[in-house]
Structure formats: structure tokens, C-alpha cells
Structure 1
Amino acid sequence: AIIIGVLGLIPGMPNVVFILLASMFAALAWMRHKRIGEESQAAEAPAAAQAAAAQQPAESQEASWNDVAPVDVLGLEVGYRLIPMVDKGQDGELLKRIRGLRRKFAQEVGFLSSPVHIRDNLELKPNAYRIALKGVEIGTGEAYPGQFLAINPGRVSGPLSGRETKDPAFGLPAFWIEGGGREQAHALGYTVVDASTVVATHLNHVILNHAAELLGRQETQSLLDHIGKDAPKLIEDLVPKLLSVSTVQRVLQNLLDEGVNIRDMRSIIEVLAEHAPRIQDPVELTAKVREALGRAIVQSLFPGNAEVQVMSLEPGLERILLQAMSASGEGGAIEPGLADTLLRQT
């Protein structure tokens, strides 16, 4: 616009035409500059608002669903000195052991548990760890990377020089010792394990003791879906035609509470399908399943024994007990007075 305006001032040139063109281009340039400025302000406004919100204290910000953190089914929190044991970048040995524990649990118990979520917790002591189930603490302990735990199984021939403690999983007397004392500990009869094994064994013990709580509705459904791949008709005839997923879950939880594994799901489903048309109570269904799994239960308790010594009740007493059972939604219960009499006379 400036160049055209200058040309319009030269004598002999069509001054009016050049001046009009210069004015028009100047107006267009001004309008374009104004529009770009407005767009820039509009683009900067959200960023400025976000920056202002970030500078506001947390108390003044509006709550959202992002503030509601889901609770981990299984959690392991560690103090800062134990972080190398669970750090993938440092090839943490405990990570490998935890993966192996989950696989072993599935093979022994019969279902795949939730993953163990691991995080550091600076509120813990440097060498401490915490095991949580659905956000509730169910186990604590301490571990010392680079040292070894010498556990007294009850038949050692002498004490050790080291930090006296107890095995966190089973409560046995133990000592934390340096690597150079392992041979002496073995010679005296101690069981010697490293720090990662201590935590992993404790975690495994806790998981086995809470197997029933780890079998949620989602795990039950996944288990049924897995069985349904090989026997779809068996599952279709049971769930949801005869029993709900919740009822099947309760039966499986009852078995796990009693220390009975649920590896033989095919037999369990067949028994439930047989009795579900007449029985809906989870406790009664559990009793039927327990009978069907009798051989496996006995073998797990007394491996290699063809005969098992048992004690049976006198028929009259058994009849009284059966009559005294008061049925409830959660199963049977012995009348308190009769239970007290039995305890005092046993």
C-alpha cells in the first residue's frame, strides 16, 4: 500500500487511481491485523485460564471424579530403601518373584488373582513394607537388601550374631545377618533366605490366607468364562438358569475359607448343576460340593495315606445336633446353650 501511494505522487502518473488503490490495500491490511489479534487473544484465553487454575490452591478448585482414586485389590507399599527391589530399571528381584507367586497361586488354588500394585511410601520406615487388601493393612514387615534372614525352624544348635527379629510370614525366631555369616547359619541348622524371598514369602502367605476375599464377582465370572470355553453347555445350564453368579461365588468362597482349592471346577459345576434345582442355599450347596471333592481334600491333608483315622459322633448326639441347627440365610448355627454344654463336656 505504501509503494502504490508513493507511485501515485509521481507527476504524470494517474494519481487518483494509485491513491485509491493504496487506500484500499491499507484498509485490507488493517482489517487483517485486527482479526489476527482477536484470534490470538481467543487462543491464549484457555491457556491463561488453565494457568490461573493451576495457581489456585487445591481447596478452591472444584472436585471431580478424577479425585476419586480406585482402591487396589492387592497392594504392596515399600520404604525408600526397598525401592531397588521393586524397580524394573534396576532389575528388581522382588518383581520377578511376585510374578511367579501369582502364577503359582493360580495353579495351586484354581483362579487368577488380581495383580499386586506396588508403590513407594515415604511415610513408612526406610526398610519397612506394607501389604494391603482393598486398602486395608493385612501385613507388615521389614527387609534389609544385601542381608539375609536366618530363620530358626526349631532345631538349631546355637544363636547367631545379628539383628534379632521374627520371620514376618510365620513368626519364627530369626536373625538378619551379613552375607559372610551364611555358612555358619547353615551349619547351625538355620534356614537362610535373601530379602526378596522374605517379602515374597510373606506376600504369598497373606494371599493364601485371604484367597476367599480375592475371589470377587469379576474373578468368578472370568473363571466361569474360562471353563465355558471347553464346556459351554455345562456353564449355560447352570448360570444364569439355575444359579446366579453371586451364588456360585459364595460357594467357591466357602470352599476357599475352609482351605479347599477350586482347581477341579468341572466337578464343582457338575455338582451345583445337579443339586441347584432343589437347593439354593450356598452353605448347603457347599456341603454337596465338599462331599464330591472328598478324595481330593483327604489327599491334600494326608498325602499317601490310603486310610484316614476319624472320630464320629454317637448317633443320638448327631441327631440332637441336627435338630438344634437353626437355619439362617448364611447357613446353620448350633443353639448357644447346647454349644456351651458340648464345649464344657468335651
Structure 2
Amino acid sequence: MSARDLSVLLGVILIVIMLVIPLPGGLLSFLILTNITIALIVILVTMNTQEPLDFAIFPSLLLLLTLFRLGLNVSTTRSILSEADAGGVIDTFGNFVTGGNTFVGFVIFLILVIIQFIVITKGAERVSEVAARFTLDAMPGKQMSIDADLNAGLITEQQAKERREKIENEADFYGAMDGASKFVKGDAIAGLVIVLINIIFGFIIGMTQMGLSLNETVHVFMRLTVGDGLVSQIPALLIATATGIIVTRVAAEGNLSYDVTAQLFRYPKLLYVAAGAIFLLGLTPINFGLTTFIAAILGVGGFYLDSSKQQQTDIEEFVDEEEETSQEMSSPESVVQLLNNDPIEFEFGYALIPIADANQGGDLLDRIVMIRRQLALELGIVIPVVRIRDNIQLNPNEYQLKIKGNEVAKGELYLNHYLAMSPDIEDDSIEGIDTKEPAFGMPAKWINEEMKDEAELSGYTVVDPPSVVSTHITEVIKKYASELLGREETKQLIDHLKESHPILVEEVTPDPLSTGDIQRILGRLLDEQVAVRNLPVIFETLADFGKMTTDTDLLTEYCRQALSVQITKQYMNEDGVIKVVTLSPNIEKSIIDHVQQTEHGNFLNIEPEQQQSIIEAVNQEVNRAFIQDSVTIVLCSPAIRMYVKQLISRYLPEVVVLSYNELEPDADVESAGVVNLT
């Protein structure tokens, strides 16, 4: 235990001793001066803190100081009543303040108590209550503001965490100050009660037990009581003032002295007005020389401050001009900043501002936070922050999504409307603006509030605008997930896996596979909606086959087969069945025969006419199966799966291509048709 910790513990023990054991006068004097010194240090510290949290220990310190002062009161009361002596400090204070008149001293003491109790303590207590209440009420809004800044990319995750902790600490601090201010109030009341006890029982003891006359009793006990009250109330007054200062402090540029002088004398010309008013007072019977002297001081001070302010303004303007000139001359850094693109951008017209503005009830920012968390769980990658901004170049109700600066999707929203969707129902009684659901392209209508209940009764699915745009953002990010996974993001995933599987990562990268190789493999998996959350399985596969080949296409196929449990579950319907369309043997043989092997990898070299025939055959069979059984999965042999996907992906991107090895052996697979060449 350090000496610092030991000193605090010994101080608490000393307080307990003062409550029980009588202390000699010399030690009492030392402790009284220590109490005054600590109180002076406390008020100086509170005046020099910029924020209340810089002195977060103040509530606990306030309790200890109050207990210490009450312990001193008990000890001094014991000494006054038992020995008519409480040390040199109390005796000196009593003689100096009373000046030979004990009643004057008592009046001065009462004035100090009134100032502390009614003015400072009462005000500090009220401010503490209001500050605690307002701080707690403002917490949700501050949290949402932090989330908004985080989603907008203005702050990092670490900065957001620090701001949240600061908000929580502020709430705890003001809550503690609300309770601690009661100590100050109770201390003032206790001091007044102790003084009355000293006077009443001092008279009784002095006249009955000590045999003193009335005048002697008044002189001795009133003088000691006033001295005791003063040495107790002066530090109590300082602590009460410090309490008022710290609970009334707001975020500022400097300490209290700096803020007072900077803000009180912010407008130097007002000192001229004050000087003129004081000078005019001298024309009345008030002392003309004194008012003229004060007016002169105010005038000279105003002139000095005005000159200093003008000089500071000139310097700032010059510095600003120099900085602007320097930037305009040529700043490579500023030019480079113009080249940066945000990974994901969401822009909208001015009519859609309410969905993003929390002050108008918009919750888009909160929804995007949830989208990022949801996709992190579904895809296994960290989705970058979505930059949200309004764009006056868009139509009022229009929005667009950009991935790395390129527009990839757009849509239209009508606030105060609902999107009614139903692919199988056409009800002419449901009136609205015809449109298409932006995420999946289904026919839909924008209907008003009055038509909502009727549309739901007619079988339509009714969705509010924020849900529409949230779904659209989610689907777009899923579609372009591979583009959002660069080498930096891949390195973050590798580092995260290395914390739990260090040996596995060392076997895979940097040898035999580089970060770029792993990024391409994960990107190809994401391109076909295969989540990469199960990184240990993927790296186990790469560790097994990475030494045999570095062909990323082939390694991707091995990874897909290793994720067979995940893929099987992903494409299984509610009945536990996977409905597929298979390729005929002649198509599979034709594709295998046209695979060419080179030193740079394998590729499909097939005539354009035959390619077109295969694509048309797949399209016809998938369309027929989709109408009957909602099937968009093509099942083929493992050797040709990636070539089939490459062949049809440009024309039929929504068709899923699986191989037999990517499905579990016990999976219930049902064929809905066979693709044949005519």
C-alpha cells in the first residue's frame, strides 16, 4: 500500500478518534488550521478546473471533509465545556473578531451562518438537483447524437466509446453531487446547533460547576463559542462556495478566472458607459473625487481592453489570410482529400430529411446501426460506416446509394404514405401511386394513411418508408459485399482470427497465400451470398489445400464444399427440402470438354453459339420451375460448378449454382426439372 493510500486511511481513523477521545489544545489548533488549509485548496482547485469531471472525486471528498469538520466540532465542544479552553487558534479568533464585545462577535457569526445556509448552500443544493435531473434527461439525446456522428463518419469507434463513457460519468457525477449537497446543508445546520449548545450549556457549567459570575461566563464561553464557530464556518463557507462553483460550471475554454475576465470584459466599450454613469453620480451629493477616480479607472481599462482586442483581431485576420493564401497556393494534402471516396454513401432529396433527422422523429440512423450489426452477423464482415447526406441535385423524394463513389441503386419514397405490396393481388379499390418495391422489384403502390387498413384487409403487405429504405440498403450491401471487402478489411479479419487461432493463420498466410489471395477467395464467396463468418473452417481448408494449389478459383470451390452444412441450411425451404434444377449429362460433358488448362489457371473456352444455347436452356427451365415451385437453384457436378456460374452469371445473376459436394449427404434434394439442349 502506497504512502498516499495510507495517509487517507489514517485521516479517516483520526476522524473517528476525534469523535471519541479528547484531544489536547495544541493538536486541536493544528487540526483546525489543517481544515482551513484543505478548504482553501478545494476552492482553488474548483476555480481552476475546466470541466466538473476534472474534479470527479469532489462528492466523496465533500463527505470526508464534512465528517472531519464535525469531528473537530465535537472535540472543540468537549474542550470548551470541560476545560473552558480549546487551543490558541479558537481563542485568537474569538478575541480578534469580538474585539472586546462578545455580542458583536456573535452577530458576525450569525451573519456568516445566514450567508452560507440561505444564500450559498440553498442555491448549490437547488442547482445540483436541476443539473442531475437535466443530465439524466439529456442522456438519450446525447447517445443518439454520438451514434449519428459515428454513422456519419465524423468520429471513430474509439471516440464514440470515450464520449459515451464521459456522458455516463457526468450523469454519475451530478447524481452524486445532488446527494452530496445535502451534506453541506446539514453541516450548516449542525454548526448552528453546536454553537447554541456551547452557549447554553457553557452558561450552565460556568455558573454551576466552575463558580463563574454571569459576566465572566458570558466573556469566556461566548468568546470561545464565537471563535469555535468562526474556525468551523469559514472552511464550511469555502467548501459550500466550492460546491456552488463546481455544479454551476459548464464546458469552457479555461478555468474560472480566465472565463470570468474573458467574458465579463468581452465588450470593452461597455466600460465607457459604466464610467459615464459613475461620473454622473458624482454630480450628486456623493463624493465627487471618489466617483471621478473610479470612472477614470473604468475609462482607462476600457481603452486598454479595446486596443488589445483590436490588435488581437488584426492578428487573427492576418493569420487567417495567410492560411487561406497558403492553401490556395498549393496544398497537396487538401487536393488529395478531394480524391477520397466513402465506401457507402446514402444521399436523399430535401423532402426526405425527416427520416434522417432525429429532431423530427426520424430513426434512419438507428436503423443503419442495426443493419450494420445484422450484416456483420450474417456475412461475417465489418460493414463500413454509411455516410448520410442530403443532395439538392436529387428530386425531393428521391434517394440513391453509392458504393465507393459509384451509384448502384436508387429509389423514391413518399413520406406520410405506406408501400403496399402483393405480387398476386390486384385490387382496383386500393388507390395509390404505382411503383416497384426498390429492393426486390415487386409491383407495389404508395397509399395514404386512410387506405392502410383496407389494403391490409385485402392481403397487401404494408410497409412504412423507413422500413422500405432500410430493406433496400440491406439488400444492396449484401449484393456488393465483396466490393466492400478490400485488403485492409481482410487484414482486420485475419488479425481477429489470429487472436484465437494463431497457428492456423500462420499456416495459411503470408505463405502460401497472401492477403490479396485470401481477399479474392472471401470476395468470391460473398459474390455468391456465402457468408464468411465461419473463418476457422475456411482457413482450415486453405491450410489443407493451399500447399497443393494457389489457384484462388479452385480454393474457393474447396471452401464452398467445406461449408456444406452452412450452404445446405441456407437453401433449405420450410419443409426441409432443397428444390433444384439439374443439368443433363450432355450439357455437363460439353462444358467439361471445353475447359482448358493453362499455367495461369483453368478457363472455359466454348463457342458463343453454344454458350447462348446453354444460357437459354437454363433460363427456360428455371423460369418454368420458378412458376411451379419457386426454384432458382441449378445443381451440377463439382468439376463444372464454377464454370457454369461464370457462364450464366452475367445473364442470370439471380440463379444460384450449387454442386453435389456442397450439400450434406442426408439433405433432402428434390429435382424440379432437367436442363436439356434442344
Please report the TM-score for the alignment, with normalisation by the length of structure 2: 0.41
- Aligned equivalents of 1:183, 1:318: Cα separation in 2: 52
Q: Which one of the candidate residues 407, 413, 416 is aligned to 1:143? A: 413
Structure 1 match to 2:317? 47
- Aligned equivalents of 1:46, 1:343: Cα separation in 2: 74
Q: Deviations over 1:272-318 (max 9, x none)?
A: 0001111101001011111212232122112453676663653x875
- Aligned equivalents of 1:43, 1:91: Cα separation in 2: 42
Q: Which one of the candidate residues 387, 397, 409 is aligned to 1:117? A: 387
Q: Does 1:174 align with 2:174?
A: no
- Aligned equivalents of 1:200, 1:342: Cα separation in 2: 37
Instruction: Compute the displacement of 1:333 (Å).
Output: 2.6
Instruction: Compute the displacement of 1:155 (Å).
Output: 2.9
SS at the partner of 1:332? strand
Aligned residues: CA RMSD: 3.0
- Aligned equivalents of 1:282, 1:163: Cα separation in 2: 48
Residue identity in the other structure for 1:285: L
- Aligned equivalents of 2:457, 2:424: Cα separation in 1: 14
Instruction: Compute the displacement of 1:199 (Å).
Output: 0.9
SS at the partner of 1:227? helix
Asked if structure 1 preserves the Cα contact closer than 8 Å seen for 2:571 and 2:578, the reply is no
Q: Does 1:236 align with 2:506?
A: yes
Structure 1 match to 2:554? 284
Structure 1 match to 2:542? 272
- Aligned equivalents of 1:253, 1:72: Cα separation in 2: 19
- Aligned equivalents of 1:310, 1:152: Cα separation in 2: 27
SS at the partner of 1:243? coil
Residue identity in the other structure for 2:375: F
Q: Which moved more, 1:189-198 or 1:82-91?
A: 82-91
Structure 2 match to 1:298? 568
Q: Does 1:337 align with 2:607?
A: yes
Structure 1 match to 2:330? 62
Task: List aligned pairs for 1:251-266, cutoff 5 A.
Answer: 251-266=521-536
Q: Deviations over 1:24-78 (max 9, x none)?
A: xxxxxxxxxxxxx9xx999956732633775x8x9x6535322333200000011
Q: Does 1:188 align with 2:458?
A: yes
Indicate how the Cα distance of structure 1 residues 169 and 329 shifts in structure 2: closer, same or farther if over 3 A, else same: farther
Structure 1 match to 2:298? none
Instruction: Compute the displacement of 1:130 (Å).
Output: 1.0
Q: Does 1:226 align with 2:527?
A: no
Q: Does 1:322 align with 2:580?
A: no
Q: Which one of the candidate residues 133, 158, 164 is aligned to 2:434? A: 164
Q: Deviations over 1:250-281 (max 9, x none)?
A: 11111111221112211110000001111101
Structure 2 regions of 5+ residues with no counterpart? 1-306, 615-676
Q: Which one of the candidate residues 344, 348, 369 is aligned to 1:78? A: 348
Task: List aligned pairs for 1:95-110, cutoff 5 A.
Answer: 95-110=365-380
- Aligned equivalents of 2:410, 2:536: Cα separation in 1: 37
Instruction: Compute the displacement of 1:88 (Å).
Output: 3.6
Asked if structure 2 preserves the Cα contact closer than 8 Å seen for 1:110 and 1:261, the reply is yes
- Aligned equivalents of 2:413, 2:395: Cα separation in 1: 11
Q: Does 1:87 align with 2:378?
A: no
SS at the partner of 2:537? helix
Residue identity in the other structure for 2:416: G
- Aligned equivalents of 2:523, 2:349: Cα separation in 1: 33
SS at the partner of 1:336? coil
Residue identity in the other structure for 2:345: G
Asked if structure 2 preserves the Cα contact closer than 8 Å seen for 1:281 and 1:329, the reply is no
Asked if structure 2 preserves the Cα contact closer than 8 Å seen for 1:147 and 1:178, the reply is yes
Indicate how the Cα distance of structure 1 residues 340 and 117 shifts in structure 2: closer, same or farther if over 3 A, else same: same
Structure 2 match to 1:8? none
SS at the partner of 1:311? strand
Structure having the higher Rg: 2
Indicate how the Cα distance of structure 1 residues 289 and 159 shifts in structure 2: closer, same or farther if over 3 A, else same: farther
- Aligned equivalents of 1:247, 1:282: Cα separation in 2: 7
Task: List aligned pairs for 1:19-58, cutoff 5 A.
Answer: 44=314, 47-48=317-318, 50-51=320-321, 54=324
Q: Which has the higher helix share?
A: 2
Indicate how the Cα distance of structure 1 residues 102 and 307 shifts in structure 2: closer, same or farther if over 3 A, else same: closer
Residue identity in the other structure for 2:571: L
- Aligned equivalents of 2:525, 2:583: Cα separation in 1: 22
Asked if structure 2 preserves the Cα contact closer than 8 Å seen for 1:162 and 1:177, the reply is yes
- Aligned equivalents of 1:90, 1:307: Cα separation in 2: 46
- Aligned equivalents of 1:342, 1:129: Cα separation in 2: 37
Q: Which moved more, 1:288-297 or 1:123-132?
A: 288-297
Q: Which one of the candidate residues 110, 134, 143 is aligned to 2:404? A: 134
- Aligned equivalents of 2:350, 2:311: Cα separation in 1: 47
Structure 1 match to 2:480? 210
Structure 1 regions of 5+ residues with no counterpart? 1-36
Instruction: Compute the displacement of 1:324 (Å).
Output: 2.5
Structure 1 match to 2:582? 311
Instruction: Compute the displacement of 1:111 (Å).
Output: 1.1
Indicate how the Cα distance of structure 1 residues 64 and 50 shifts in structure 2: closer, same or farther if over 3 A, else same: farther
SS at the partner of 2:342? coil
Asked if structure 2 preserves the Cα contact closer than 8 Å seen for 1:97 and 1:200, the reply is yes
- Aligned equivalents of 1:265, 1:48: Cα separation in 2: 57
Indicate how the Cα distance of structure 1 residues 153 and 49 shifts in structure 2: closer, same or farther if over 3 A, else same: same
- Aligned equivalents of 2:347, 2:543: Cα separation in 1: 42
Asked if structure 2 preserves the Cα contact closer than 8 Å seen for 1:239 and 1:245, the reply is yes
